DNA sequence: GCGCTACTGAAACAGTCGTGTCAGTCGCAA
DNA sequence: TTGCGACTGACACGACTGTTTCAGTAGCGC
């Protein structure tokens, strides 16, 4: 019987929640047990007892952040409804750009790059996991047959890239006007080629 | 006279270069003096003497990485030549996607997000600085009057977002095919709206 | 020779880290 | 009341951290 398979006790989820709030405020990079424990009214001894070791605690925190992110994504994109990629991007961006979500997104970015540099240990696979999480959600927003086509995969990869690139910019510069303008510029681009392809469907392209 | 204003000695640049190679391989997050020093054939004592303290060393390493990045960008985009945003993106992406540049880009990503979480200390302002670096280079690739227009700023912000979003994806999944396809899909998008706007210039749009 | 600057080795400082040990204190079921 | 499982406090261990102290050594202008 592995220790991770045991269901979390009430005290465990309580302390995890407190530790999560602390991590949102202070980051994960130089997280250490004693300051964390004293901040959330606990002790290193108790954290060790409940999470096994520090790695277990960090893993639990990352898992906590990931579920946060996933529930939000599922909600936003109205998962299962093929509303199309562009509306999904618009909704997701509106959520990303909200100021009160910055701590979570900073934490996410930190865990992401950390897992790139240090592929072993508690962070292992976090980056790859979130890429797949987001791509999956975006996929459910695409109508068939686009969803299963290779072109569809390229489209949602691009959509994800725009979202994350703009997010990185936003986190660094706090210039929401410019970042949002870029995202909406992309949405306008997509709209143009859509109407263009419809027009071309009505009338064959001019011969040069 | 501040210590940072002194020109670096020969020994200093030699050790900085060695430490830079070490950081590329091991990351900056849990860099510590003793392992680094022994790996590059030096001692903590000497590093302290040459760089003042650990913060000074890290700052020097970040500055070193930044100049690396900037010289590359200047080279690639043929700085000063208004070749247009799309060709610039294409060239920059070709460089980013090259496998041997991954260590540098991982280091860059690490420093970027770290400076978001911990805005003081050695990392201060690194993220904001690189955003501006890249935006400036992209700006010099834009022809006038696009460059100075607000729309131009939006366009290069979007270009940067696509590049960095795709880069994050690439670093996490190592799926160069998909990431490159996304970037080229965007370039195709831009090409379509260009020809579209040219066609519309010839012939007024249909009335609905 | 002297003095000066640049650099270096060995050892120790005080502090923090994750972790382990030993002893307890609760609440609750039998 | 007893017993048991969940949880906790106090403290110490060894390893590691950045940094400092003291004592040098090599090269070079004079």
Structure tokens that stand for A123 in this block = 């962070």
Q: How far is the CA of A42 from the C1' of D10 (A)?
A: 14
pLDDT higher than threshold 50 for residue A4: no
What is the 8-class DSSP label of residue B205?
A: P
The number of helix segments (H) and strand segments (E) in chain B equals: 9, 0
Structure tokens that stand for A144 in this block = 């068939």
CB contact under 8 A, B117 and A27: yes
Look up the pTM and report it. Answer: 0.92
- Which nt has its C1' nearest the CA of A12? D7
Q: Work out the end-to-end distance of chain B between its first and last CA atoms, rounded to an integer number of angstroms.
A: 71
Contacts of A186 in chain B (CB under 8 A): 158
Please report which confidence band the pLDDT of residue B18 belongs to, taking 50, 70 and 90 as the band edges: very high
pLDDT, tens digit, for every residue of A162-205?
Answer: 999 999 999 999 999 999 999 999 999 998 877 766 665 554 44
Q: Are A160 and A135 in contact (CB under 8 A)?
A: yes
Question: What pLDDT shows up at residue B114?
Answer: 96
List the nucleotides on chain C closer than 7 A to a protein CB. 6-11, 16-22
pLDDT, tens digit, for every residue of B83-109?
Answer: 999 999 999 999 999 999 999 999 999
Q: How far is the CA of B45 from the C1' of C7 (A)?
A: 10
Taking all residues of chain A, what is their mean pLDDT, rounded to a whole number? 90
pLDDT higher than threshold 70 for residue B9: yes
DSSP-derived 3-state class of residue A145: coil
Q: Are A62 and A123 in contact (CB under 8 A)?
A: yes
Question: What pLDDT shows up at residue A98?
Answer: 97
Cα separation, A142 vs A83, in Å, equals 7
Please report which confidence band the pLDDT of residue B80 belongs to, taking 50, 70 and 90 as the band edges: confident
Q: Bigger pLDDT: B79 or A23?
A: A23
Percent of the residues in chain A that have a pLDDT greater than 70, as a whole number = 89
Question: What pLDDT shows up at residue A64?
Answer: 96
Q: CB neighbours of B195 closer than 8 A, spacing ≥ 6?
A: none
Q: How far is the CA of B52 from the C1' of C11 (A)?
A: 20
Q: What is the CA radius of gyration of chain B?
A: 21
Q: Choosing among B124, B168, B185, which should be mutated to test the A contact, i.e. which has the most A CBs within 10 A?
A: B168
Q: Are A112 and B172 in contact (CB under 8 A)?
A: yes
Contacts of B119 in chain A (CB under 8 A): none
CB contact under 8 A, B168 and A196: no
Largest CA distance in chain A: 77
Specify the residue for token string 């985009």: B77
Specify the residue for token string 């989820």: A13
Question: What pLDDT shows up at residue A201?
Answer: 56
The CA distance from A57 to the nearest CA of chain B, in Å, is: 18
Contacts of B166 in chain A (CB under 8 A): 157-158, 161, 165
The CA distance from A56 to the nearest CA of chain B, in Å, is: 19
Q: Are B157 and B135 in contact (CB under 8 A)?
A: yes
Q: Tell me how crowded residue A132 is: count the other CB atoms within 10 A of its CB.
A: 13
pLDDT, tens digit, for every residue of B131-172?
Answer: 999 999 999 999 999 999 999 999 999 999 999 999 999 999
Write the DSSP string, B99-154: GGGHHHHHHHHHHHHHHHH--SGGGTTHHHHHHHHHHHHHHHHSPTTTTTSHHHHH
Contacts of A193 in chain B (CB under 8 A): 189, 192-193, 196
Burial class (CB in 10 A: 0-12, 13-18, 19+), B75: exposed
Structure tokens that stand for A188 in this block = 């306008």
Structure tokens that stand for A185 in this block = 């510029």
Burial class (CB in 10 A: 0-12, 13-18, 19+), A49: exposed
User: Among B161, B167, B89, which Cα is nearest to A113's?
Assistant: B167
Question: Per-residue pLDDT averaged across A66-82, rounded?
Answer: 83
């Amino acid at each position: 019987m592995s220790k991770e398979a045991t269901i979390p006790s009430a005290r465990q989820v309580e302390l995890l929640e407190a530790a999560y709030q602390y991590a949102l405020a202070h980051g994960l990079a130089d997280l250490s047990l004693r300051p964390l424990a004293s901040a959330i009214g606990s002790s290193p001894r108790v954290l060790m007892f409940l999470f096994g070791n520090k790695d277990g605690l960090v893993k639990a925190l990352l898992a906590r952040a990931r579920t946060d992110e996933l529930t939000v994504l599922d909600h936003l994109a109205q998962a299962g409804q093929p509303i199309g990629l562009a509306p999904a991007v618009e909704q997701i961006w509106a959520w990303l750009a909200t100021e009160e979500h910055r701590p979570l997104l900073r934490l996410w970015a930190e865990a992401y790059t950390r897992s790139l540099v240090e592929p072993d240990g508690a962070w292992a696979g976090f980056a790859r996991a979130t890429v797949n999480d987001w791509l999956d959600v975006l996929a459910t927003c695409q109508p068939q047959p686009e969803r299963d086509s290779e072109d569809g995969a390229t489209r949602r990869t691009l959509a994800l890239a725009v979202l994350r690139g703009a997010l990185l910019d936003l986190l660094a510069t706090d210039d929401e006007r410019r970042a949002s303008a870029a995202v909406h510029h992309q949405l306008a681009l997509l709209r143009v080629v859509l109407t263009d392809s419809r027009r071309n469907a009505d009338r064959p392209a001019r011969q040069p």
